[in-house]
Amino acid sequence: MMPEIIVHMASGRTREQKENLMKGIYRAVKESLDVQDNYIVVSLIETPQENKSRGGVPFSEL
């Protein structure tokens, strides 16, 4: 079984932050599930802040 973890997030983070997030998720999956490294897939789906809102207010205005 190949676990695939998809994270939806507002854009604006640095490459380093995103890499740290993916590595952390990878480690959590590796420690929790008995799967080979190459089967663990992590995807980040970034949405521009003006296209994402909370409570009716765009993230770009928060």
Read off the amino acid at residue 17: Q
58 among known catalytic residues: no
From the list 3, 44, 49, 58, the catalytic residue is 3
* β-pair partners for 46: 9
Pairing relationship of beta strands 4-10 and 41-47 according to DSSP bridges = parallel
Q: Give the CB-side neighbour count of residue 6, counting CA atoms within 13 A.
A: 3
Which residues are catalytic, by number? 3
